[in-house]
Every structure is written in structure tokens, then in C-alpha cells.
Chains A and B, each alone.
Chain A
Amino acid sequence: MTLSDLNFIFRGMPLFLIIYYIVPAKVKPWALLLASMIFYALNDYLLLGVLVVFTFLNYFLAKLNLKEKKSAFIIAVILNAILLIGFKVGGRLDKHILLPLGLSFYVFKMISYQVDIYKKKIQEISFVNMAVYFSMFPQIISGPISRYDFVTANKFWTPPQNQIGKKERLFSILSEIDNGLKLFAIGLFMKVIIADHLAVLWADIKTIGYESISTPMAWIGAYTYSMNLYFDFWGYSLMAAGVGIMLGFPFIDNFIQPYSAVSVSDFYRRWHATLGSWFKDYIYIPLGGSKKGNARTILNLFVVWVVTGLWHGMTLNFIIWAMAIFEIIVFEKFLISKKQMALKIIGRINVLVLIPCTWVVFAIHSTRKIGTYFLRLFPFVDNGIAVNRNDVQLFIPQYLPYLILGVFFALPMVQSFYKKYKDNIFVTLIIFVMFWISVFSLANSSGNPFMYLRF
């Protein structure tokens, strides 16, 4: 069961919300913890034990860590890192080893929790708050990687103040649920309608074989995959943020209009922002950040990007992808940053042209096939076999509505417009229609986008 599962939307979520708001404030974290355990077990009951064991382990080490036992802090960080690396390397060496659901995300939260205790940002340990932080169901599958203060900021976990009437409190709950629902519906639409349909076009290109696509088709493919990834991930993040808001948590912005970035460095502050800031706070800055001279800065960036690449996957393409980003960032930071005009132009070109090319490397796991694809993108050598010159006209028209929707939702003004008018009745009605279009599509594809892919 994921957030875009109809049983979650129409059964699990409403049922949980009713229970969650009936129980007293003090019990709410426990209710969320229980629901998260059930959610996890429904998805991956075999490896739930790993999460549970590491939650207890982190709890005991956190208690010692709080008492300023440095060794406990070091052991905690090393154990958490070993858990992640062990499963990732193990899974790569033996495909029978399964990765626990959400491992990459909850291990990062565990490390963040221990570091924040060590740095005295967290001064009180509550088992339930900590366990909810690690395992909460909206964030467990693919983030966002919130910080611990996200959990303690919940506005419904403290008993109501006397001066607030029951009616007022009910209205504030309903209004939070409505706010969350809006984000959830928009996220669902992005994922189900835009991302899932563009995924089928990207699959079509794979079906044809990269050696047989025309150069225009290769470029459309690169932008298609870029939008597929963006709306799949942004949509999911919005759904997760929406569920969070329904439960009283603050909003987490995980994608801050990345394609309006002015450079690749800027892009990665906006793209999967919670991951980027994790790397910044827990790896880049502890290594010295940019304060220890140019050579150290470059080395620190290199380390961050190698780890970023490996975090995404243990295949060579992720390393190539990460190294490409690293090189572009170094190029921007050291070669063109002094010329404002050049940075303005080249930075934008990097975001709008080079980033889609790097996503192709991210998407294709075989280096040989990456080579084939890039020769189609940049046909210096003609490596085409049986290329149909009209493939764009033959394949694209049926996907055009989704490509247009993708470009539309990537425009920064759409987001600004939403922020300004989100309570407008017409905007609400549009979101209502988007919600049912997504549900209709889900009902007819059984949640599997490739159900559209008839032969």
C-alpha cells in the first residue's frame, strides 16, 4: 500500500484520520506510530524487524549520547551507516538480499537524530516522538527526510488551550485537513496523470531501442524522463507533505521550483531539498565546507557527490551521474562565478539543457547503452540502426497532453498562483476535478501505470 493506492486514499487514510482526531492529544503520537507500523507491515512485513531493532538501538544510544558520551554518538553513527551500506552492498552482490523499505530514508533520519543530540539541538528524548520521526508512514517510502523538530512542531499533540472553544478547534482541524488534501490531490495528479503517463513514453523509447531513435526523439526522451522523474518525486513529496499537514505537521518543501534555478548548484538546493540540506549539514559542513580553501572545497564537494551517487544506487551509472554534476558545479563555482553575466546565461543553460542530459545517465543503468543514447543526442558519429526519421510524429502526438501539462506545472508562476489563490472557490473546484481524474485513472490502471501499455 502506497500513498497513491485507492485503498489508502478511501479507506486507510479516512479511517486513520477519524481515530487520530478522536483520541486525546497525548495519545496521537502513539496512534501515528501504530498506524505507521501497520503501514510498514502491509508493504514489507519481512523486514519490519530491522526498523524496530534499529529504533530501539538508536533510543538507547541516544540516551547515552544525551549524557555527553561521545563514544555512544560515534557508535550510533557507525552502526547506522553500516546498516545502510551493508544492505546496499549486500543487495548489489547478491540479488536475493532485499533492501528494507525506506532504508535509505530512515537511516538518514537516524543519523540526523544522533548528530542533533550531539550538537544539543535536541535536548529531550521521547521514545514515541523519536520512533514516529523514524517511521511515520507518509515519509517512510521515499521521504522527505525531515528533521526531528518537524515532529515536535505538531500543532495537535499538545492539549488544547482553555480559551479555544471546541467548535473553533474542530474548524481548525477541518481546515488543516482541507489544506493537506489540496496538496495531496495536486501531488496525486502530478504523479498519476503526468509522471505515470510520461513513464510510458520513456518505456516506448526503451522498446524501440536507443540505437533506433532519431536525434529529435532522443531529446524529447531526455525531457520526458526529466519530467517523469520530477513529477513522480515532486508529486509524491506533495502527497506526503499533504498527509503531514492533515495530521498537524508543518509543510515540508522538498522541490522548490528546481527548473527555475540559475545554476546547477542552485538546482540541487531546490531539487529534493531535504536530501541536499542533509548532505550539507551532516557531510559537507563537518568536512569544512567552503571555508578551508579552494582545494578542500573541491575535495568536500567531491566527497558529497560520491556519497550522493552511491546513496541513489550501487551501479556505475549513478557514479557517472554524480561525477558529472560534481564537475558542472565546480565549473560554475570556480570558472564562471566571477563573471556574473556568463554565470547568468551558462547557469540557465546548464539547468535547462545539461540537467536533462544527466538524468539520462541516471535512468539508464548500462554504460554501453548510455553511450548509445548520447550518440543519438549528439550525433557526431552515426550509430543509428533502422532509425525511423518520422518517429517523433508517430509516437509523440498521443503523449502531447502530458508533455504540455508537464511543462505547465514546471512553470514557477503556477506555484506562485496556487500559493496566492489556494482558497479561491474556482481553484478548489479545479483541484477537485484533478482529484477525480487521478482517481479515475488509478481505478482503471489498478495502480500500475503500465496497464495503459497495451500492446
Chain B
Amino acid sequence: MKIKTFLLLILVVVSGITLSICSVINLSTKYQEYTTSVAQEPVMVPLLKAAADGVYPWSEYVAPEETKAESSDDVADEQSVSENADETPAVKAKTFTHVEDDYFDDAVFIGDSRVLGLSMYCSALDSRSTFFAKKSLSIYDIRDKEWVETEDGREITVFDALQEVTFSKVYMMVGINELGRGTNESYAEAYKTVIDRILEINPNTIIYINSIMHVTKEKSDNDPIFNNGAINVRNAAILKYVDYQHVFFLNVNDILDDEEGNLKAELSGDGVHLKGSCYEPWHQYLLYNAIVD
């Protein structure tokens, strides 16, 4: 009997045990955030999940920093927001008006798969505007990562990309991927950072925050994470940054929802995205809700 006839069994057993030991050793340190419960999953699973994030058994472990300093920043932020709010009545709020498609000639759209869908299935916008959109994009990616592909194949941050195009309107829609990740505060904070950076690059730009689009009733009722209750909370969390001068909020759900406040079932094939043929209402909504100086 040759060892060859049960080589795979030996390899699988040895590698399985080795990975499990590596995982257990690091369970309380670098794999802490990848662990759910040892009762629910085999012990090597945290190691595999961490590896997908680029954290390997041999990676150096950095203990998370204390978050005290950050929370005091929060307070300061909120104060400055409320100060802003106090000042708002002194400046006249700009109001929405109807425009034609050429309005979008110098517009940039930034967002996740829903914006990607808009670029693919709304040729009126795709032919005029610049789209920086990517599946699974989050506000944290926009803030931190190099993800916009340049023509020569490099990846740069959206802020670097915005330096290279002329734009006076920025439309954003993200937020669905962030559900179940981070907190309302961390989400809003990241949004604020992004808004500030864009205004820094072009102080005269108009930023349109598109509300996170709802999901259908069927999806919402059956999903503990991606549901409309959670979406409404996240939408509300960024309203405080709307100043009616540079930053506006477009509640696209107004035209896409049914009477119960869920995305109309007939507009979506999977409960989350608009069907290719159903982007027009969103386009029309943008045409009727534009700011002209």
C-alpha cells in the first residue's frame, strides 16, 4: 500500500490542523474582529476571513488605539454644525429649479453600483457627465482609497481625479454597502470629510447628496441589514450637512417609492437595484431638482 493512495487525506488533515492552530493562537489579537463564535464555525475560519482582508498569520499585529480623542472631536464637530445651523437663516437658501440635460455637462457622479447602473442605462447622463462609480463602493472607500482608474491603468483617489476634470456639480449616492458596517456617526463623519475635501478642491461646486435608495418591501422585510428602516436612519444622519448653499439633499425615494415607503417592486429585479429600463424617473428627478445660480 503506497502513501500515494491517501496523500490527499494526509495533506488535508495536516493543513487543516496547522491552520486551526495558527488561528487559535491569534484569536484574541489580530483575528478578534473576524471571529463570530467558535460554536458557529470551524476555528480556522477567522484566519481565512482575515487573509481575505490581507491580514496573514505572519502580519504584524497593531492593537486598536483608544478612541477617546476621537469622541471629543465628535463633540466639537457637532458644535460647529449647530453653529452653522444658527447662521443659516442669514443667507438665503437656494431653491430647486428645472434644467435641461446640458446642465450635466460639467457634472460628476460618484457612487456605488446604483450610480454605475445610472451610467450604464441612462445615456442622457452617461454621454454628458463624468462617472466615478464602482460596485460595492462605500463612503469610507471614497475617503480613504485609491479606486478611480485612470486611462493609463493607475488607481488614484477620487480627490486626485477631481483635480483633473472640470466640474461644478457633484452628485453622490453611496450608503447601501455601509449598512451593517460602522456606526451612523462614523458614516456621517466620513461623509463630512468627503464633502469638505470636494469643496476644498472647488469651493464653488454644488454637491448633491442623493439619498440612499430604498429597497423593495420584500427585500426590506426579509433582510436584517439591508432594510428601509436602516436606510432611513443613515439618510437622516447626513441631513445636518445640508446648507442650501453648497450642499443639497435629493430624496430620490420620493419618486421611486410606493405608498408604504418602499422601492416600487416593479422597478427592481433583485429588490435592490433599478432595472435597466427604470432609471428614467431618477434622471427626470435630477432635471427637476437642480440649482441654478
Contact = CB atoms under 8 A, between A and B. Distances in A.
A215 B279 CA distance: 20
A423 B42 contact: no
Contacts of B279: 386
Contact of B277 (A182, A385, A394, A440): A385
Contact of A444 (B7, B52, B268): B52
Query: Is the contact region of chain B dominated by helix, strand, or loop, or is it mixed?
Result: helix
Given A207-B269, A208-B275, A208-B276, A10 B5 contact: no
A378 interface: no
A428 B136 contact: no
Nearest to A171: B1
A65 interface: no
Interface stretch (A92-100, A232-240, A431-439): A431-439
How many B residues touch the partner, as a band?
Answer: 35 or more
A7 B42 contact: yes
Interface residues of A, number: 43
A394 B278 contact: no
A359 to B, nearest CB: 19
A443 interface: yes
A431 B4 CA distance: 14
Contact of B269 (A177, A208, A385, A454): A208
Nearest to B272: A455
A440 B19 CA distance: 12
Nearest to B277: A385
Nearest to B179: A455
Interface in A188-220: 203, 206-209, 211-213
Contacts of A178: 5-9
B120 A391 contact: yes
A203 B272 CA distance: 12
Contacts of B11: 428-429, 432
A432 B12 contact: yes
Given A181-B12, A423-B4, A455-B135, A440 B276 contact: no
Given A175-B1, A181-B12, A454-B136, A212 B6 contact: no
Given A181-B9, A386-B121, A209 B277 contact: yes
Interface of A: 6-7, 9-11, 168, 171-172, 174-175, 177-178, 181-182, 185, 203, 206-209, 211-213, 385-388, 391, 394, 423, 425, 428-429, 431-432, 435-436, 439-440, 443-444, 454-455
Given A7-B42, A174-B5, A443-B44, 6 more contacts: A171-B1, A181-B12, A207-B269, A386-B280, A455-B114, A455-B136
9 A-B pairs with least C-beta separation: A212-B276, A209-B275, A454-B136, A443-B48, A385-B277, A178-B6, A10-B42, A171-B1, A174-B6
